[in-house]
Chains A and B, each alone.
Chain A
């Protein structure tokens, strides 16, 4: 009834090419933004921020990044943890090296640095494909973590080998360091997430995104019709790493505050983000959000039910969580290889016909 293209005449090319051509989608999008910006900051508390919202926002950025590379360009990467570490450590070096630099620029610049590193490790993708490439990205993962562990310059020769975020402010509000207030850090991350998501969405709709998808679907055919694989693959690696680097910087500076590289940015993190995009949906920006939300909420939910309600020990809950996550991945791949995003698409198809399906 309300979800129809029919009767919604577009009179300009601009209107015809907009992201959400159906007005219901547009309204829904603005309502979500309105709630996220104007309602949530007033009702948020520290528990919700730290347990759910901050990890969700930060992993959503990482998932969008990996989705650009894996979902849109078809290059499977297991190096996400390593690239997040690059983001975190460059953010730390920028924050301590240039104390006057605004934290926003620190975060974005660390994204740029990660993009450069990502393009460097993306170079082999021009020669090797598929599994071989996935394993090659593991080289990045292990090498980068080792590097940040061994070279003391990266953690400013601190005795513990940890990096700790110094205190930084924007407009007088504390963003990093101790005693930050929940609404401020939330809004800081939210602004970044919204901007980056809009950019990603438009990139994937444009020339660049189409060349990525052409490479994904069949690289040789894409080459024949004039897509430059060097450009497409390296931009995918670069832009994807930019997002992942920003996520790493936020994870370190805003969310955790102090980081030990092997613990936080290990191979498990690479798999976590990969699971997010599988469950959410490969090749979908909405899917990145859905997957991130799912993977962040599931442990919280399980923990609340098993430990909080049933009173089981935490280690059993953790093992059960592993088993459930693994089983869910398999179930998703069998039932819906395109993830939560596909379910959403199916719902929309049904809505178009509702309430008269014939």
Chain B
């Protein structure tokens, strides 16, 4: 096998890893969409906010330090303590749950029975609000996440695959972080599936996803379910935020991964968890391979920006409900 072929395989593997990262974000969308029919545009910003909160708690930042300083003329920025990673994660999760409760109380409750598109726009508003709020609270500088996640290329994989490609080939370069992310994603999806299959709350969630009114009539509280779902989505956002944040730093561009997750959802269908995973993998592999084979040699590169959308667009023309989505039936 020539070295080019093995480089291609390496691109493929990296694409799969990137796809897992996309799936992580897409998962949060699917959870909320299934349970409440809301397309939550704010999922990406939630990931950003969760990561910011984690870093803020860990390093003992004082929330709203900037505003406090400006208004009161003080000069405070840190409490001066350092919270261990695990405790930090738990506290960040608590913040996300509080956030979920607030969203339900302040926003969703008032928008019941509105058209889906109105709800979608409300989540865009929510995204804007959280973006500004998060940066007011924790500052807008690029932060690093330090919870002991490994960085850099994986030497073991590199050494043990070097023999494949002959003289010019030095083994697959894979980020250790990506490998960890893949493992975590697998664990997350498995636990979510188990949760929704075997616990009482999980069943309630599925019932609500199936039919709101029927679920209400057997005594399931919609509002509690919404809080739970948004909390779980907050948890997924935290995981995604930590992973992406460890990869590229906690900064504004993190919120744009929501946009990357959209074509994933379109491919996989808005209502399917396996769809989100497989869609993510297809998009991840597709855009890396396209860039490798066609984009970089012929089109001047950076095709990753739009390839996913075009793929999804063309795909949708032939199958409007996505790969695994439920068939769209419309009645007059």
Contacts and interface: CB of A to CB of B under 8 A. Distances in A.
A329 interface: yes
A132 interface: yes
Contacts of B107: 330, 334
B332 A326 contact: no
A323 B316 contact: no
Most buried by A among B107, B270, B301, B316: B316
A209 B130 CA distance: 37
Contact of B120 (A131, A313, A315, A316): A131
Given A76-B117, A132-B320, A146-B303, A330 B332 contact: no
B309 interface: yes
25 contacts: A130-B116, A131-B120, A135-B265, A135-B309, A139-B309, A142-B305, A145-B305, A146-B302, A146-B306, A150-B302, A267-B259, A322-B128, A323-B132, A325-B125, A325-B128, A326-B125, A326-B127, A326-B132, A326-B133, A329-B121, A330-B107, A330-B125, A333-B114, A333-B125, A337-B118
A194 interface: no
Interface string A311-322: 011011001111
B22 to A, nearest CB: 14
Contact of B122 (A124, A135, A221, A333): A333
Contacts of A278: 121
Contacts of B270: 131
B300 interface: yes
Interface in B45-99: 66-67, 70
B299 interface: yes
Interface in B310-332: 310, 312-313, 316-317, 320, 330-332
A326 B114 contact: no
Interface in A287-336: 312-313, 315-316, 319-330, 333-334
A124 B318 CA distance: 10
Interface in B100-145: 106-107, 110-111, 114, 116-118, 120-122, 124-133, 135-136, 140
A136 B127 CA distance: 20
Interface of B: 39, 66-67, 70, 106-107, 110-111, 114, 116-118, 120-122, 124-133, 135-136, 140, 256, 259, 262-263, 265-266, 270, 299-303, 305-306, 309-310, 312-313, 316-317, 320, 330-332
Given A134-B120, A274-B124, A319-B133, 20 more contacts: A127-B320, A128-B316, A129-B320, A131-B270, A135-B262, A135-B266, A138-B262, A139-B306, A139-B309, A142-B306, A267-B256, A313-B70, A321-B132, A322-B131, A323-B132, A323-B133, A325-B132, A329-B122, A333-B114, A333-B125
Contacts of A138: 259, 262, 309
Given A138-B259, A142-B305, A334 B135 contact: no
Interface residues of A, number: 48
A224 interface: yes
B66 A316 contact: yes
Contacts of B299: 150
A218 interface: yes
Contacts of A312: 70
Nearest to B107: A330
Interface of A: 76, 124, 127-132, 134-136, 138-139, 142-143, 145-146, 149-151, 218, 220-221, 224, 267, 271, 274-275, 278, 312-313, 315-316, 319-330, 333-334, 337
A316 B70 contact: yes
A327 B129 contact: yes
A105 to B, nearest CB: 31
Contacts of A128: 316-317, 320
Contacts of A124: 313, 316-317
